[in-house]
Amino acid sequence: MMSMIAQTRYIITVIVLTLVLACSPQTPKAAADNVNLEVFGEGEKWGYEVYVNNKVFICQNIIPAIPGKIAFKSRKDAELVGNLVADKIRNNEIPKVEVRELTLLGINESL
């Protein structure tokens, strides 16, 4: 049989854990089901928009992670990077793009 102090500690611990879990901000996992990509542009100037819950979350009309304001040269390039960003959002990751990721996608070669 637990002592009165042990019972009180147990009850307080359960209440605190319940409150923490109930009051924690919900992760974007629910929103991750509703992430869409739209590619826009023409010629050699392309970009993309990532929508979360039908609202623009990211509008990117230049290649991220590289200096200067250089548009994507092709629809394919914009779509590759846009899909990378959308996947990061779906996986609850920060949608930051790094130069090495661009290289892996073959984007730096087309600059």
Tens of pLDDT, residue by residue over 43-70, are 999 999 999 999 999 999 999 999 999 9
Is 65 inside any structural domain?
A: yes
Is 15 inside any structural domain?
A: no
SS3 content of the chain, % helix, strand, coil (to 5): 45, 20, 35
DSSP lists the bridge partners of residue 45 as: 42
State the pTM of this model.
Answer: 0.70
Domain holding 106, by residue range, is 29-110
Is 37 inside any structural domain?
A: yes
Is 39 inside any structural domain?
A: yes
Q: What is the pLDDT of residue 4?
A: 77
Is 24 inside any structural domain?
A: no
Q: What is the phi-psi region of residue 28: left when phi exceeds 0, alpha when psi lies from -120 to 50, beta otherwise?
A: alpha
23 has pLDDT over 60? no
| Low-confidence winner among 3-12, 82-91, 100-109 (lowest mean pLDDT) | 3-12
Helix, strand counts (H, E) of the chain? 4, 3
CB 78 within 8 A of CB 45: no
Domain count, the chain: 1
Is 85 inside any structural domain?
A: yes
